Structure 1
Amino acid sequence: MAAVKCKGCGAQVWTKAGACPVCGAKPSRKAKVLAWVALALIVFVVLKGVFSGEPAHTTAQKSTPMDVAEGVTASQSMPELSSGPAPIRSGALDSYTKATHPKIYAKWGAEGAKKIEAHQKLAADLIATSGRCDAVSIVGLSEQRSSPPSNIVVFVDCENGQRFYIGPNDLGSPLKSEAERALNKESAISICRDSVRAAAKFPSSVNFSAFGTVAETNKTTGGTSVYMDFESKNELGNLIPQRATCVFPVSGKPELRVGSR
């Protein structure tokens, strides 16, 4: 129910009242109509606010891309995208002095030590900018693969477990980590089975366990190992349960070990 202003005394009079309770004047028809229109507008605005989920006293505003971005930033952390090279951790590069590496220093000499350190820096920069290393953690001389005066091979280890060997001819060639150079597991299992049969006294008697074969590749060294359960006959004709271990390094000769289980 709406109220109007009495034109006689100015008091508020309900539209349904026949006359003003103060002065007795009757409200005009026009005032009643205006009062009902005003009441209808108020009800419309309130209902619009309720059903649109917005306050009735505010104007609806569309979200802008800036509003959305700000809301996302406030509610969750955005992933960091690296556009530059991977970091080289402090202390990752080794220093070859008479005090720190006396054997290597004696073998390579002062000039050789400087060459090793220079090659380390080039190798670390190469891997850091390759896009395949999260962070360079360790760089060092591979003594087994290196020989003075100029055959310098260093290994570069990344925090994601990848290892790269960089020799004097690798700085300008396509890079492969040790894991990428590894023998695949299917081939390793097949070769291991053939090796077990060849090493058995009675190859035809070899019976491999259906669930006793496991193959794994070391992410850092790239070496693939196969563990295989089997049975084979001995000299007396008895079936003996055995286990074979086949190791396939990236560089070097594969190894077969067989023992009882």
Structure 2
Amino acid sequence: MNTMDLFSLKGKTAIVTGGGRGLGAQIAESFAEAGANIVVCSRDGAACEEMSQKLQELGVDTLAISCDVTNPEDVKKVVQKTKQKFGRIDILVNNSGASWAAPSEDMPLEAWEKVMNVNVTGTFLMSQEVGKVMIEQKGGKIINIASIAGFGGTDPFMQTIGYNTSKGAVMTMTKDLAVKWGKHQINVNAIAPGFFPTKMSKVLIEHGQQTILDGTPLGRLGSDSDLKGPALFLASNASDYVTGDILTVDGGATAF
């Protein structure tokens, strides 16, 4: 196969959770530019619809669905509607996420539970339901969005113990699913982004931007295109022999 053909997603179908904005929107756009049909889902149905219309301008077919990834019925609805419209599911990106900032000793239980439910349980529920389809069709690519915060303790300015813990759990889930589902030719990988300016990270970056930049060898935050290539690699045939990997996209922050 020609090298450039390895990166084509023409005719494939991808579900991107939390795809209406931020990193999810960047990934959805990358896949659409590579030829994939895109299903965008999140709790913000209006944002998904707006993104869906934008992606259609790239010449692909799209579907926008309102979905709470912590609700099993919503998850099943997304999978059913995707299969009805496109017939199969080739790629899943678990990008929906939540965070809460508070010192560890003051973290409210309800905040901890919300973050864990969205980031861990939501990722599991969506992977489980899509995984059943991929097992039946004997193949697929699952990409979980983790974070460099999941590798271990973080700088004191990052008072987000629930988020950090949840992303560590996503990394372990990624590796375990890769082991369990490899026999079905399902590749399960994760991307661990560094600091990208998104709605969720805005306040954190405002409080610690200089610390972040000082700890990033490339000396800048992630851009609105820095995840496109890594995500496309993991979604395409170019990564057919890659599974159980955590691809770090952080400007070198974890190289220290």
Range class of TM-score, shorter chain: under 0.3
The structure with the greater share of residues assigned to helix is 2
The structure with the greater share of residues assigned to strand is 1
TM-score, normalization by structure 1 = 0.20
Please identify the structure whose Cα radius of gyration is greater. Answer: 1
TM-score, normalization by structure 2 = 0.20
